[in-house]
Amino acid sequence: MGPKAVVSEGDLFRHPLREQINLKHPLVRLTDLINWDGLNASMSASFVSRKGRPATLTEVDCWFVVSPACVRSVGRGRGLAMGGKPVLAGLYGRNVFQTEPPIDPSSLTRWRKRLGEAGVEELLAETIEAAKRAGVIKASSAKRVIVDTTVMQKAVAHPTDSRLLERCREHLVKAAARHGLKLRQNYNREAPHLARQIGRYAHAKQYKRMKKALRTLRSRVGRVMRDVERQLDSVADTGRIALQELISRTRRILSQKQKDKNKLYALHAPEVECLAKGKARTPYEFGVKVSITTTHKEGLVVGARSMPGNPYDGHTLAEALEQAAILSDVKPDVAIVDRGYKGVAVEGVKIYHPGLRRGITRGLRAMIRWRSAIEPAIGHMKADGKLDRNWLKGALGDAMHAVLCGAGQNLRMILRKLRLFYALVLIAWLSRSITVDFQA
C-alpha cells in the first residue's frame, strides 16, 4: 500500500515544528525547493497493492536513501538518531518534533528494491530541477556537458586464490550443517592454516612452497564440494537451488586460471569485474565502470550510469548523453570528452576531445581545456559521497548506487549555494549595522 497523506491537525501539547526551527536554515530551504508532490505521483506506480499497512512517507525514504551519498558521515545509525535535531525532523517530513526514529532500517531495503534504477533516476532528475530553482545552473547549462568514466569499487576483499578457496570451503561446510548433511571431513583446522601459510610464503617470495600449499588447499576444497554434491538429492527443494548455485561458483573458482577472462573475484558478488585504469597507486580495481555526465560550466551531475562488462569508453557515450537528455529535459549540443572517446560520433552532438587541431579556435581550445573540471567532481563524489565503495547488492545495486551518488553531489552543490547566499545576507546586514553605528 502506498504512503498515506499526513493530516495536518493541531496538537494541544506540541507546537508545530516549523514554528520552532529556523526556516532560513539551508536544509529547510533545500526541502522547500523539492517538488514532493511530483515525486509522490511518479513513485505511486511502485505500489501495485492497495491493501496492507501504508508505506512510510516519500520524504522520509527519499532522504534516507540519498543522504548517505550526500554526506559521507551520515550512516544508518546517525540518520536514525534524530533526538536533539529539530531541523532533521523537519527534513524527514515531520510536523512535530519527535525523538524516536522515523523509519525502520529494513524499510530502506524494501524501498530501494521497489524503486529500482528508474525510481532513483527520478530523484536525480528532481535534484537537477531543484538546482535550477536555486539558481545553481541555468536551463541552458545542460546543452554543453562533460562526460567521463571512473571505477566504482565493490565492497569486497582483495581477491586472492587462497582467500577465495577458503571462503568457498567455509560456505560449503556451513550450508552442509544447515541442511543436515554429514561430511567425511570439513578441514576446519587444516584449511585456514594453509590459507595463512600461502600468504606468508608469498610475502617471503617462496613461490614453490606457496604453489604446493595452494594445490593442497585446492584439493581439500574440491573434496568438500564433491562430498556436498553427492548428497544433493537429500536436500529439500527449497534449499537445493541455492546449494547448487554455491557448488557452481565453487567449481568455477577451482577451475579458473591466472590468465582467464571473466573470472569470479568474489563468492557473494559474481558481478564484480577487474578494471585497470592505468593508475600507479591502484593498478587494478574491482567493481564496475561508471559513466558520469556533468554540465560544462557549473559541474552539476546530469547523468550517472553503471556500465557492466567493462565496455570501451566510446561505446558508452551515446547512452550517457541519452540519459542526460532525459533527466535534464535538454538535449546536449556539445560534449567534451577525453582521448578515450576518440573516433566516436553521436548524431546531433558535437564531440570535442584534447588533441584536435583542425578547425579549433581559441575559444574552442579554452572550452576543451575545461574538460578536466569533471575530475574533481568525481573526486568529491568518492571522498564526500560513497562512490568509492558500493555496499548495495548485485548489478541492480551497482546501477542504483551510481545514480544516488550523482544525486548526492547535486544536493551538496545546492546546499553550498544556499549557505553562500545566507552568508552574503549576513555580511550585508553586519556591514549595514556597522555603517549606521559609525554614522551615529
What pLDDT, in 10s, does the model give residues 54-87?
666 666 666 566 666 665 545 554 444 444 455 5
Query: 161-255 maps to which CATH number?
Result: 1.20.58
Strand ranges for 77-217 from DSSP E: 144-153
Strand ranges for 95-194 from DSSP E: 144-153
The rounded distance, in Å, linking the Cα atoms of 292 and 406 is: 8
For residue 117, pLDDT beyond 50: yes
Overall average pLDDT of the 370-374 stretch: 93
pLDDT the model gives residue 24: 73
Fold of 138-156+272-415: Nucleotidyltransferase; domain 5 (3.30.420)
Q: How would residue 267 be classed by pLDDT, with cut points 50, 70 and 90?
A: very high
Of the two residues 283 and 45, the one the predictor is more confident about is 283
Report CA torsion sign: 240, 244, 247, 249. negative
pLDDT the model gives residue 113: 83
For residue 9, pLDDT beyond 60: no
pLDDT the model gives residue 59: 61
DSSP H stretches of helix in 231-373: 237-255, 317-328, 362-369
Overall average pLDDT of the 200-229 stretch: 97
For residue 114, pLDDT beyond 50: yes
Question: Is 335 in a helix, a strand, or coil?
Answer: strand
pLDDT the model gives residue 299: 93
The rounded distance, in Å, linking the Cα atoms of 153 and 158 is: 11
For residue 319, pLDDT beyond 90: yes
Domain regions of the chain by residue span: 17-115, 138-156+272-415, 161-255
Closest CA to 391 of 236, 302, 308, 272: 272
The overall average pLDDT reported for the chain is: 84
For residue 290, pLDDT beyond 90: yes
In percent, the amount of the chain with pLDDT more than 90 equals 55
pLDDT the model gives residue 385: 85
Contact between 163 and 221 (Cβ < 8 Å): no
pLDDT the model gives residue 82: 45
Q: How would residue 32 be classed by pLDDT, with cut points 50, 70 and 90?
A: confident
Overall average pLDDT of the 110-124 stretch: 86
Contact between 101 and 80 (Cβ < 8 Å): yes
Q: Are strands 273-275 and 144-153 parallel, antiparallel or unpaired?
A: unpaired
Of the two residues 340 and 40, the one the predictor is more confident about is 340
For residue 228, pLDDT beyond 90: yes
Contact between 286 and 156 (Cβ < 8 Å): yes
Question: Is 47 in a helix, a strand, or coil?
Answer: coil
Overall average pLDDT of the 183-194 stretch: 96
All cell numbers assigned to 416: 553550498
Tell me 100's DSSP state: S
Digit-coded pLDDT (tens) for 153-162: 999 999 999 9
Weakest-pLDDT range from 90-94, 298-302, 382-386: 90-94
Q: Which residue has the cell 601459510?
A: 197
